[in-house]
Amino acid sequence: MKIPEDIRLFMITEKMYVRIYKGKVTWKLLSEEFEFVRKLKCERGEILDLFSKMEFLVNELIQLRMLGANSEEADKLDDVVAYVDFFSRLKLLKKWGIIENKTVEMVNQTKQVRNGFAHAWGTEEVLYKEKPIEENFEKFKHDMEEIWKALVEVYSVEQKKYDVSEIFKRIREENKSV
């Protein structure tokens, strides 16, 4: 299937995530993603990867609210958002009434772990809620799953406000000649 290079879309369906970006489609089953959080190991790479995905989802929420789905200005907004720290982006979403304060507070607490893994020499230096992460890892995983569920739910609600049928119509038209 040929996808026009200028289409940019992130969608969460009942069963999967779908991302169309720079002419490519990627997807992942939702059940696999929650399983990823549940099977998370107390390792730097896995923790940082999860935070990267969470930051991506927050950025997509901002784009969706400000520009709608598949805006030609999305790259410009990406440039601006890159200069706003992650917690400030969350506060914007809270101010706009998109996410609840509870979610912002939970992310703020888990951010300690992200920063620890990004900057500490070893796992033993990383704390969560004032305990070594290895002693409190199950609580951390539970909290991360709650955050992830909240963000996915909010995104699912927000995306329904935008009609993406024109995007799919363009893709179908593009592929009639292929």
Q: pLDDT for 53-64, tens place per residue?
A: 899 999 999 999
Residue 38 CB-half CA count within 13 A: 7
Q: How many CB atoms lie within 10 A of CB 69?
A: 21
Which of 116, 122, 107, 127 is CA-nearest to residue 61? 107
For the chain, give the percent of residues with pLDDT over 90: 51
Q: pLDDT for 157-178, tens place per residue?
A: 898 888 888 888 888 888 886 5
Q: pLDDT for 75-124, tens place per residue?
A: 899 999 999 999 999 999 999 999 999 999 999 999 999 999 999 898 89
User: What was the pLDDT predicted at 32?
Assistant: 66
- Label residue 13 by pLDDT band (50, 70, 90): confident
Q: Could you write out the DSSP letters of every residue in the chain?
A: ----TT--EEEE-SSEEEEEETTEEEEEEHHHHHHHHHT--S-HHHHHHHHHHHHHHHHHHHHHHHH-TT-TTHHHHHHHHTTS-HHHHHHHHHHTTSS-HHHHHHHHHHHHHHHHHHH-SSGGG-EETTEETTTSHHHHHHHHHHHHHHHHHHHHHHHTTS--HHHHHHHHHHHH--
User: What was the pLDDT predicted at 22?
Assistant: 86
User: What was the pLDDT predicted at 33?
Assistant: 66
User: What was the pLDDT predicted at 178?
Assistant: 58
Would you say 148 and 40 are in contact if contact means Cβ atoms under 8 Å apart?
A: no
pLDDT for residue 31 is more than 80: no
* Sign, CA torsion 122/124/125/131: positive
Which residue has 């990267």 as its token pair?
A: 52
- Label residue 15 by pLDDT band (50, 70, 90): confident
pLDDT for residue 7 is more than 90: no
Q: Which residues does residue 17 pair with via DSSP β-bridges, in sequence order?
A: 12, 28
User: What was the pLDDT predicted at 39?
Assistant: 85
User: What was the pLDDT predicted at 61?
Assistant: 93
Cα separations in angstroms, 21 against 3, 25, 74, 160, 162: 9, 7, 11, 20, 18
